[in-house]
Amino acid sequence: MLIVQDLSIERLDKKIFENISLSLVPGNITILKGKNGSGKTTLLKAILNIIEPSFGSIYWKGKLLQKNLYDFYNHVTYIGDSTSSLKKLTLRDNINIWKKFFISNVNDAQIEIALKTLRLDNYLNKKVGTLSFGETKKLEFLRLIMENKKVWILDEPLSNLDEDSIELMKQTFEDHCGKEGSIIFSSHQNPGIYVTEEINL
């Protein structure tokens, strides 16, 4: 499905990484490992066509990514290192906005179950700005369920999470891969998740 071939990125004449290749097929989990500043976010942004690579190419369903970009975007959910929920609004408002904007076919009962599993059901009428960073991060994962797309691209998804939440994420990853989904995520630590491919940057 997604093939990254000999990707190199230079910025301001500084080599960030070179000759990175990976392939993502349904059911696969790929982890990008490396220290802070090793280029994990840069690689994820290059895969999303936000950063142009200096060398190498990315293919989606056999075509160059640039020529098949919006089909790729139709199949991908990205969670970055910043939290995208709107802090001035309540959890309920955020969920409503996402549900409408992503034209989600996930029903209210499924959302309620997800909120309970994430232990966020008591905060529905609270403003996101009043939640802790870990809780906001968990709210972000609700987007994965609401967008209901096949490819998940996640930047440091496990940082700032407690042990229970990490365990929950592991389970969610396995479920997603069991449904022919695929995941690329970055981490600077060993997450203890079974991965099919490991890229060291």
Q: How far apart are CA 47 and CA 24, in angstroms?
A: 11
Q: How far apart are CA 62 and CA 78, in angstroms?
A: 21
Q: Does 113 bind another protein (CB under 8 A)?
A: no
Among 36, 82, 105, 132, binds another protein (CB under 8 A): 82
Among 25, 64, 97, 113, binds another protein (CB under 8 A): 97
Rounded (5°) CA angle 40-71-75: 60
CB-nearer residue toward another protein: 89 or 193: 89
Strands 197-200 and 29-33: parallel
Among 22, 31, 53, 85, binds another protein (CB under 8 A): 85
Phi and psi of 55, rounded to 5°? Answer: -140, 160
- The answer to whether 131 and 96 are in contact (CB under 8 A) is no
CB-nearer residue toward another protein: 1 or 48: 48
Among 13, 62, 103, 192, binds another protein (CB under 8 A): 103
Among 15, 61, 63, 87, binds another protein (CB under 8 A): 87
Q: How far apart are CA 110 and CA 84, in angstroms?
A: 21
* Greatest distance between any 2 Cα atoms in the chain: 52
CB-nearer residue toward another protein: 86 or 161: 86
**Side-by-side strand order, sheet with 2-11:** 14-24, 2-11, 55-60, 63-64
**Site residues (CB under 8 A) for another protein, limited to 12-51:** 45, 48, 50-51
- Give the count of residues interacting with another protein (CB under 8 A): 26
Query: In whole angstroms, how close is the CB of 80 to another protein at the nearest point?
Result: 5
Residues that bind another protein (CB under 8 A): 45, 48, 50-52, 70, 73-74, 76-78, 80, 82-89, 93, 97, 100-103
